[in-house]
Amino acid sequence: MASRLKPEAAPVALTALFHNVRALSVALAAPLSDADATAQSMPDASPAKWHLAHSSWFFETFVLRDHVPGYRLFDARWPFLFNSYYDAEGPRHARPERGLLTRPSLGEVLSYRAHVDAALLRALPDLPPPACALVELGCHHEQQHQELLLTDILHLFSRNPLLPAVWDTARSDPAPEPGPLRWLAGRAGLVEIGDAGVEGFAFDCERPRHPVQLQPHLIADRPISNGEWCTFIDDGGYRRPEMWLADGWAWVEREAIFAPLYWQRDGHDWMQFALDGLHPLRPGAPVSHISYYEADAFARWAGARLPSEAEWEAAAAAQDPLEGNQLDRAEPVRPRAAAASDGLRQMFGDVWEWTGSAYLAHPGFRTAPGAVGEYNGKFMCGQFVLKGGSCATPRGHARASYRNFFYPHQRWQFSGVRLARDI
């Protein structure tokens, strides 16, 4: 996780990065009331207020407390509240009870942010390189929480029978129809994946870069669309156990799953709840808010399979991770239909794409030293890798080697599916 910004440029570039990241978080929370920012709709999600405070705690703890002499904690009782899962930082508030923290208020948390921002910007020019690396890490950490803030608030609002909109209106789609899905040849033979540690930021779990042998295969030019998903539903997709993994079918039956999250029937039509409220389903947009189980079942139904992480990453190597429908500003983001193109479409942005690869260590993986070593490694069990970023991922955060991971039943992220196929 060492910073790979050039030493002399680091403080200036970091200052800009820090400033932009911190400002976007506050902007994302602007439409929220104190109550909106406090409630927690499920243990997997956190209150918006908590995201705002926890990302500040990260800077306060690992940079200001550890590297800035004389820094005084904003409130000595708050680290207990806003430590997420760092055992090395001691005991902490129980995650499922975050929604009971009506105090401190949203306003007090914003003051906390201002306090941390001022102290950090004051300290930044003189920070040693290891501390600069932690600032950079903290910015990328906060970007992750920006995406979670959006998906958590979407989940919260979806549980309110009034179905309130976070923002009034989304921009309209430039291209309502993605056109037919096409199969492209994937890279085969020995390929390299993972982060080489040479330029730009990457998390420890993306490293080291290493060779992987791939078999010949095809990969779809774009993710599956809502309209294609409707065909799956109409064909009994959620009622036929032969489509499903055993765990997936048990989940379908136990949870009475019948469609992607946030879909609901309106007579014969489907509606989808989004950050701008309830709207008719857009058939051309990529399907989102599906679990691994659903992605896998769809692929089996379609006579295909999910791409492996290495297949996906090898295919994405030639794509620009800064393009695509990603998060630029505070607005009601949503996946949009792919524009026409001959090559791979929507590898970055729109929806995270489930791969068929478990989230495990790359060969030679080493955790970062210290408490931040708990960042990624201890979650390498039971989860699957998603690639590519979504409409809620801050632009600049994702890259080909980026590894997102969730449990196979989780689907409150903007998660979708791109198919692959053996040749």
Among 125, 211, 236, 280, which residue sits at the site for a copy of itself (rule: CB under 8 A)?
A: 211
Site membership for a copy of itself, residue 81 (CB under 8 A): yes
Q: With CA atoms as reference, report the closest residue to 297 among 248, 263, 261, 353.
A: 248
Alpha helix ranges (H) inside 161-245: 226-234
Interacting span for a copy of itself (CB under 8 A) from 28-36, 137-145, 197-205, 393-401: 28-36
| Number of Cβ atoms within 10 Å of the Cβ of 108 | 16
Considering the complex, state which of residue 8 and residue 422 has its C-beta at the smaller distance from a copy of itself.
422
Does residue 2 touch a copy of itself according to CB under 8 A?
Answer: no
Q: Is 274 exposed, middle or buried (0-12, 13-18, 19+ CB in 10 A)?
A: buried
36, 60, 136, 353: which one binds a copy of itself (CB under 8 A): 36
HSE, side-chain direction, 13 A CA sphere, residue 200: 14
315 binds a copy of itself (CB under 8 A): no
DSSP 415: E
Q: With contact defined as beta carbons under 8 Å apart, do 57 and 79 qualify? A: yes
Q: Which stretch binds a copy of itself (CB under 8 A): 15-23, 111-119, 156-164, 263-271?
A: 156-164
Is 102 among the residues that bind a copy of itself (CB under 8 A)?
A: yes
Of 123, 196, 230, 361, the one binding a copy of itself by CB under 8 A: 361
Q: Does 382 bind a copy of itself (CB under 8 A)?
A: yes
Tokens of 270: 């489907």
- Binding string to a copy of itself for residues 259 to 298, with x set by CB under 8 A, is what? ---------------------------------xx--x--
Shortest distance, CB of residue 217 to a copy of itself, whole angstroms?
8
CB of 128 to a copy of itself, least distance (A): 25
User: Which C-beta is closer to a copy of itself: that of 115 or that of 283?
Assistant: 115
| Residue 305 structure tokens | 């399979």
Question: CB pairs under 8 A, 24+ apart, for 339-344?
Answer: 339/174, 339/175, 339/178, 340/175, 340/178, 340/179, 341/221, 343/184, 343/221, 344/184, 344/219, 344/221, 344/222, 344/315, 344/316, 344/319
Of 228-236, 337-345, 357-365, 393-401: span binding a copy of itself (CB under 8 A): 357-365
Q: Which of residues 112-151 bind a copy of itself (CB under 8 A)?
A: none
- Region from 4-12, 38-46, 171-179, 221-229 binding a copy of itself, contact rule CB under 8 A: 38-46
96 binds a copy of itself (CB under 8 A): no
Q: For strand 352-358 and strand 415-416, is the pairing parallel, antiparallel, or unpaired?
A: parallel
Could you tell me the CA-to-CA distances from 71 to 52, 99, 112, 122 in Å, in that order?
Answer: 20, 29, 14, 11
The three state secondary structure string of 318-341 is CCCCCCCCCECCCCCCCCCCCCCC
Compute how many residues bind a copy of itself; rule: CB under 8 A: 67
Shortest spacing between CB 191 and a copy of itself, in angstroms: 9
| Residue 348 or 354 having the CB closest to a copy of itself | 354
Identified binder of a copy of itself from the candidate list 16, 23, 100, 184, rule CB under 8 A = 100
- Per the CB < 8 A criterion, the answer to whether 389 and 349 are in contact is yes
Which listed residue (106, 218, 316, 417) binds a copy of itself by CB under 8 A? 106
Minimum CB distance to a copy of itself, residue 422 (Å): 5
CA–CA dist 122, 116 (Å, integer): 10
In the numeric block, the tokens 């104190």 are attached to 34
Instruction: Write phi, then psi, for 277 (nearest 5 degrees).
Output: 100, -165
Question: Could you say which residues in the range 227-266 bind a copy of itself, by CB under 8 A?
Answer: 241-242, 244-249
Residue in 332, 356, 394, 416 binding a copy of itself, rule: CB under 8 A: 356
Handedness of CA 297, 303, 309, 312 (dihedral sign): negative
Contact set with a copy of itself (CB under 8 A): 33-39, 41, 77, 80-81, 85, 87-88, 93, 97, 99-106, 156-157, 159-162, 164, 190, 210-215, 217, 241-242, 244-249, 292-293, 296, 305, 308, 356-358, 360-361, 363-364, 374, 378-382, 408, 422
